[in-house]
Amino acid sequence: MATLAPSPIHVRPFDAPLGADIEGVDLQRLDDAGFAAIKQAWLARKVLRLRGQDIDDDALADFSRRFGNLDRSPISTTGKLYQPTRPEVLVISNIIVDGVAIGGLGNGESIWHTDMSYNPVPPDASVLYGIEVPEGHGDTWFCDMEAALAALPEALRQRIATLSCLHDSTRNSAGELRAGFKESYAPEDQPGAVHPLIRTHPETGRKSLFLGRRRNAHVVGLPLAESQALLDELWSYAGRPEFTWVQKWRQGDVVIWDNRCVMHRRDEFDQGLRRLMHRTQIQGSKPF
Ligand code: OGA
Ligand code: MN
């Protein structure tokens, strides 16, 4: 009797500069050939979505680990892990049980950011799994930062070619202070990591604009006013509709993005709704 061939994998690019649906994959039974197809599509499209998955934290971590070692989840507002037994799995949720948030980011807007770019070695990728999602609410937007860089006028691109920027580590993308940080710092004492404003993708060789997050950012070596003006100008290219794709969540969606060339943000949603996602982050290398 013939053995059943695995179902073919389809890559369906979205009508946007980035993103694609991967069809024909069950993450509970992904073989090496299937993973190779996913990896290739991911490098080409920067964000992938796999719908209809039904996985636990082990399967989420196993799939994520095929891309590389996992990083620990970021520092929360309380300093506590949401899942003490699973430091590599971050809970993102607005759900409150007995007065305690079971996850991070709440229900507010999460502003444009690159995950954990305030670390000297930010993760290459994040994998976000929608366990309980209010459909039509809390959409997540992705911006192609290679396209943003390509849109810069040549003089501006040349001006930033050798400049670096401080990525603030004190607050999360929802604006909340992380445990262990003060409310404010003098600009020269702002905690975070310094990275080049133009970043080269280590696997594809392509360059992208690397901004991280706007709050408390500072271009190294520039006076404050000049730094602010330059960052405002650069940020005016990020998030332009023509560079973005929006993920409208359904339960069972797994979305993986390339943190080296994509930024993301999330719309706020009503606190009366319940939203629960689990995320992993894949260890990266020092940006150059
Ligand atoms: C994240 C994030 C957005 C969302 O998981 O890194 O920014 O949709 N989440 O909750
Ligand atoms: Mn994020």
pLDDT at residue 53 greater than cutoff 60: yes
Place of tokens 């366990």: 131
Among protein residues, the one with the nearest Cα to ligand 1's atom 6 is: 115
Closest CA to 127 of 173, 81, 63, 174: 63
Q: How far apart are CA 51 and CA 282, in angstroms?
A: 21
- DSSP letters spanning 34-63: HHHHHHHHHHHHSEEEE-S----HHHHHHH
**What per-residue confidence (pLDDT) applies to 5?**
62
Kindly give the distance from the C-alpha atom of residue 2 to the centroid of ligand 1, in angstroms, as a whole number: 44
Q: How far apart are CA 158 and CA 197, in angstroms?
A: 11
Query: Hey, what domains does the chain have and what are their CATH numbers?
Result: 10-178+188-282 (3.60.130.10)
Taking residue 223's Cβ as centre, other Cβ atoms within 10 Å add up to 10
pLDDT at residue 7 greater than cutoff 70: no
pLDDT at residue 2 greater than cutoff 60: no
Counts of helices then strands in the chain (DSSP H, E): 5, 19
Sheet holding 244-247, edge to edge: 110-113, 262-266, 140-144, 244-247
pLDDT tens-digit series, residues 60-83:
999 999 999 999 998 888 888 899
Kindly give the distance from the C-alpha atom of residue 265 to the centroid of ligand 1, in angstroms, as a whole number: 7
Q: Which atom of ligand 1 is nearest to the CA of 140?
A: 8
Average pLDDT over residues 222-241: 97
Q: Are 18 and 150 in contact (CB under 8 A)?
A: no
- DSSP letters spanning 166-187: EEE-SB-TTSPBPTT--S---G
Place of tokens 């996985």: 55
pLDDT at residue 249 greater than cutoff 90: yes
pLDDT tens-digit series, residues 131-166:
999 999 999 999 999 999 999 999 999 999 999 999
Q: Is the CB of 281 under 6 A from ligand 1?
A: no
Q: Is the CB of 266 under 6 A from ligand 1?
A: yes
pLDDT tens-digit series, residues 103-112:
999 999 999 9
Mutate to test the pocket of ligand 1, among 140, 246, 259, 267 (most ligand atoms within 8 A of CB): 140
Candidate from 13-22, 72-81, 208-217 with smallest mean pLDDT: 72-81
Kindly give the distance from the C-alpha atom of residue 173 to the centroid of ligand 1, in angstroms, as a whole number: 9
Long-range residue pairs from 77-83, CB within 8 A, at least 24 positions apart, any chain: 77/104, 77/172, 77/176, 77/177, 77/178, 77/179, 78/179, 79/178, 79/179, 79/180, 80/179, 83/57
Q: Is the CB of 126 under 6 A from ligand 1?
A: yes
**What per-residue confidence (pLDDT) applies to 187?**
83
**What per-residue confidence (pLDDT) applies to 67?**
98
Q: Is the CB of 279 under 6 A from ligand 1?
A: yes
Pairing of strands 20-23, 47-50: parallel
**What per-residue confidence (pLDDT) applies to 274?**
98
pTM for the whole thing?
0.96
Q: Which atom of ligand 1 is nearest to the CA of 247?
A: 8
Burial of 77 (0-12, 13-18, 19+ CB in 10 A): middle
**What per-residue confidence (pLDDT) applies to 6?**
63
**What per-residue confidence (pLDDT) applies to 109?**
95
Q: Is the CB of 173 under 6 A from ligand 1?
A: yes
Average pLDDT over residues 178-184: 92
Q: How far apart are CA 222 and CA 126, in angstroms?
A: 32
In the chain, the percentage of residues whose pLDDT exceeds 90 is 91
Average pLDDT over residues 37-57: 98
Mutate to test the pocket of ligand 1, among 75, 269, 279, 280 (most ligand atoms within 8 A of CB): 279
Closest CA to 42 of 71, 15, 62, 22: 22
Q: Which atom of ligand 1 is nearest to the CA of 90?
A: 5
Q: Is the CB of 264 under 6 A from ligand 1?
A: yes
Q: Are 22 and 9 in contact (CB under 8 A)?
A: yes
Q: Which amino acid is at 189?
A: D
**What per-residue confidence (pLDDT) applies to 79?**
87
**What per-residue confidence (pLDDT) applies to 8?**
87
Kindly give the distance from the C-alpha atom of residue 161 to the centroid of ligand 2, in angstroms, as a whole number: 26
**What per-residue confidence (pLDDT) applies to 76?**
85
- Closest ligand, as measured to the CA of 104: 1
